[in-house]
Amino acid sequence: MQNIKNIFSFYQSSGVYDRVILKGKNVQNQASLENLIEKVTCLKDYYNKKENQLVFSDGHFDTKIMVIGDAPNVSDEVTGKPFSGEVGILLDKMLNAIQLDRTKIYLTNIVNFRLPDNKKIEDADIKKFKPLILEHIKIINPKIILLLGTSVLNTLHMHQSISKARGKWLELKIDDCIYNCMPSYHPSFLLRQPQQKRNSWEDLKKFKKKIIEDNLC
C-alpha cells in the first residue's frame, strides 16, 4: 500500500490527481482506479521503471469521451501525462479544432510505461496490458472512444489496417457493454506524415458529429 500512496502523492503533486480522480466524485470508481493503478504499477519491474515513471492518464474523469493512444514517449514520462511534448501540442490542436480540450475528455494509453528506445508495442506488451486497458475503459465507461494508431486498433479489435479502418465506427464489447470506437491516425504518425492530416481531419469531423448527435459535450 505504501507504493500506491507514493503513486498518488506523485499524481497529486503533478496535478493529475486533482483533474482525474477528485473531479469524478464517485467513490466506487475512485477505488476502482486506485486498484487499477496498483495493478499497472506491478509491471514496473518488467519494464525496468520506477513508480514515478508511470504514465497513467490525463483529463476529466467524469466524461463520456475517451482517447486512447499506444505508449508513452519521453516527454510523457517526464510530465507524467499521456500525449505530451510535440505530440501533445498537435493533439491539442486537433481537439481544439472540434471544440474539445483535455478538460472535457479522458486520455490514456494501452501501455502505461515508456518502452525501451520507444519501440513499438509487441505481442508481449499487449498480453500484459490488454486486460488492464479493458478494465480502464469499464471504469471510465465512455460513450465514444477515439483510438489513435495501429497498435491501439490491433489491441482492441482484430488486426486491421489503420488506413482502411480509420474514420469508421467500430463496436468494442466488454462483458455486457458495447462501446463505439473510431480509429484514426496517431499524432506522432501525423508529425512524420503531415500529408495525412487531411484524412485525420475528416475523421475528427465524424467524431464531432457523433458528439453533437449524442449530446456528449
Q: What is the pLDDT of residues 136-193, one digit of tens each?
A: 999 999 999 999 999 999 999 877 889 999 999 999 999 999 999 999 999 999 999 9
Helix (H) or strand (E) holding 70: none
Arithmetic mean of pLDDT over the chain: 89
Angstrom distance (rounded) from CA 130 to CA 8: 23
Q: Is the separation of the CB atoms in 60 and 95 below 8 Å? A: no
Share of the chain above pLDDT 90, in %: 78
User: What whole-number distance in Å separates Cα of residue 205 and Cα of residue 200?
Assistant: 9
Task: Please list, in sequence order, all residues whose beta carbon lies within 8 angstroms of the beta carbon of residue 127, skipping any fewer than 6 positions away.
Answer: none
Q: How far apart are CA 71 and CA 116, in angstroms?
A: 11
With beta carbons less than 8 A apart as the criterion, state whether 172 and 181 touch: yes
Residue type for position 168: K
Confidence of residue 26 (pLDDT cuts 50, 70, 90): low
User: Rounded CA gap, 163 and 189, in Å?
Assistant: 12
Residue 212 grid cell: 453533437
Residue range 96-115, pLDDT digits in tens: 999 999 999 999 999 999 99
How confident is the model over 125-135, as a mean pLDDT? 97
The confidence score (pLDDT) of residue 18 equals: 47
Q: Which residue's C-alpha cell is 470506437?
A: 181
Longest CA pairwise span in the chain (Å): 48
Q: Give the DSSP letter string of 160-188.
A: --HHHHTT--EEEEETTEEEEEEEE--HH
